[in-house]
Chain A
């Protein structure tokens, strides 16, 4: 199983980025082995709009089954729902702490986006 965490840096000690679409990196990690890879989200950072959709596509294409992040807007949320990726919002601390918490089952899967669209 692979999970994705929006991160401000490239390793497990990096802080979870509260923003999903404009996070600089996604840490794609196997919570059982803690083996991970940092995926650059540069493509979304440079977009005037649609960053959330682009970032969601990036995560989905990594075959992640769960996303840990701070906030997730309605468009990205819709994409994750369509791709059967569980979204967990309100995540804080370092990537490592977040993954440990996830393993202990302390998070609840979000049933709705946590923030409104920037566009409308």
Chain B
């Protein structure tokens, strides 16, 4: 590995940038890992795709910490319970079912709202827990890294994503690698970002999902820009649409066999191809200009 040029961050304010896509497999992790590596100690990389985290595969990470993350669920003290049924009434998810003889708890349905704790007149509900997954932190070169791994069988990703995001440091440029799609895990990753980069490919599939992802950023009121990966394949409809919508195309990554080979070997493009440092600098400069405006 040769040393990276040190990025002189434009403006003193730090920011949170989410790399998202809509469509899967467009290059979110490629962009996230390369951008974070380029930014070096100024950056922090957080892989928020807790269902299938993969950024660490491209990075030589020295792990520092691992912790189990849990969610609060009700645990009923049957001795105190008067079987009034209030807990079952308030629960919108039927995670707690008061019967005449006993109270059943279904941990996997619980959203940890604590409504049952509040309404119980007998103070019979205590804090129990359900394991959501693990949170792991480490560093590569001088860049801090955090990701979450959802427990197999766990259906709710957002609480673990929130835990990953609690590790965001105000003195870093935080790069958040989002899951694909436009559902709750993606929305939870995007929330509170200063800027969202949407990686797409110039195909009808890329455009279809890009439109959905842009819709989410609009609802959240967060500025976004587009990175077109594998530029040169497909058609120019993504660019046309972006122009009509007045969404900036921040970067076009050419469809290049060399890029695919480096990726397939698990290596970083900024370390193998000199032009990538310039591309990353150009990208962060454009983002910075929008965020600071």
Contacts and interface: CB of A to CB of B under 8 A. Distances in A.
**A, B co-complexed:** yes
Interface of A: 47, 49-51, 53-54, 56-57, 60, 75, 78-79, 82-84, 117, 119-120
Interface of A is mostly: helix
A49 B93 contact: yes
B100 interface: yes
A29 to B, nearest CB: 22
Given A49-B109, A53-B104, A78-B104, 16 more contacts: A49-B93, A49-B94, A50-B93, A50-B94, A53-B109, A56-B97, A60-B99, A75-B106, A79-B97, A79-B99, A82-B99, A83-B99, A84-B101, A119-B155, A120-B108, A120-B153
A78 B99 CA distance: 12
Contacts, number: 45
Contacts of B101: 82-84
B102 interface: yes
Contact of B104 (A47, A49, A82): A82
A119 B97 contact: no
Contacts of B97: 53, 56-57, 79
B19 to A, nearest CB: 29
Contact of B95 (A50, A83, A117): A50
Contacts of A60: 99
Chain B, interface residues (CB within 8 Å), range = 10 to 19
Q: For the complex, would chain B's binding face be called helix, strand, loop or mixed by DSSP majority?
A: loop
23 contacts: A49-B93, A49-B94, A49-B109, A50-B94, A50-B106, A51-B94, A53-B97, A53-B109, A56-B97, A57-B94, A57-B97, A57-B99, A75-B106, A75-B109, A78-B104, A79-B97, A82-B99, A83-B99, A84-B101, A119-B108, A119-B155, A120-B108, A120-B155
Interface in B75-119: 88, 91, 93-95, 97, 99-102, 104, 106, 108-109
A47 B108 CA distance: 16
Of B88, B106, B155, which is in contact with the most chain A CB atoms at under 10 Å from its CB?
B106
- Among B93, B94, B95, B104: residue with most chain A CB under 10 A: B94
A51 B94 CA distance: 8
Nearest to A50: B94
B288 to A, nearest CB: 41
A60 B98 CA distance: 11
A82 B98 CA distance: 10
B153 A53 contact: no
Interface in B127-156: 153, 155
Contacts of A117: 108
Contacts of A120: 108, 153, 155
A37 B150 CA distance: 46
Contact of A119 (B91, B100, B109): B109
A54 B94 contact: yes
A24 to B, nearest CB: 18
Contacts of B88: 57
Of A53, A54, A60, A82, most buried by chain B (CB within 10 Å of CB) is: A53
A87 B275 CA distance: 68
Interface string B55-89: 00000000000000000000000000000000010
A79 B104 contact: yes
Contacts of A53: 94, 97, 104, 106, 109
B95 to A, nearest CB: 7
A84 B97 CA distance: 15
Nearest to A51: B94
Contacts of B91: 50
A50 B102 contact: no
A46 to B, nearest CB: 11
A120 B91 CA distance: 20
Given A57-B88, A82-B101, A47 B94 contact: yes
A84 B108 CA distance: 23
